[in-house]
Structures are given as structure tokens and as C-alpha cells.
Amino acid sequence: FELLFPEWTFPLWLIFKKQKKNWEEEFKAAYAKLHLLQGIVVLRLFDELQYDNTPALLMSDIGGVCLAAPEGPACKLLAP
């Protein structure tokens, strides 16, 4: 089971993302450009891996709502 679905055995705060076909440049460039925001606004990149002969990323979850969720990002301003 763990060999077929390794992402299902990770702790909940870890995210495993496989590269999409023909997305080589986007896959590497996205987190390199956002390096200073990692762990605050975007996921922190821990390592690049190979899974099923495909590049993958191991990242930390920072909580909140997924930007791709139907309700969109949950950004609230705190009153002083």
C-alpha cells in the first residue's frame, strides 16, 4: 500500500506534489521565485524527489484554504 500511495502515509502537515507532464520549467521556477515567502504565504519546499520516474516535491502545509477551492482564498484583516 505504501509503495503505491506514499502520500497517504505522510503526516497531515506534509504535501506531496507530482510534476505534471510538460511542466518542467514551471515546476522548478515557481518555488524558486517565491523562496522568501515560503512558510508564510506559500508552502515551504523541503526537497525534490523522484516518484514513479516523475519529479515530485515534498512541501509543508501552512494551513488556510486552498486557493483553488470554490470559496477562494480566505483572507481576513484583523482589527486593532
Domain boundaries 6-60, corresponding CATH code = 3.30.200
Question: Which cell numbers hold the place of 20?
Answer: 505534471
Euclidean distance between CA atoms 15 and 10, whole angstroms? 8
Q: What is the pLDDT of residue 34?
A: 73
SS3 of 12, please? coil
Give every CB contact of residue 2 below 8 A, 6+ residues apart in sequence.
Answer: 8, 9
Q: What is the pLDDT of residue 51?
A: 82
Mean pLDDT of 64-69: 63
Q: What is the pLDDT of residue 79?
A: 46
**pTM score, two decimals?**
0.52
SS3 of 42, please? strand
The string of pLDDT tens digits covering residues 13-27 is 777 778 888 877 776
User: What is the sign of the dihedral through the CA atoms of 35, 26, 23 and 62?
Assistant: positive
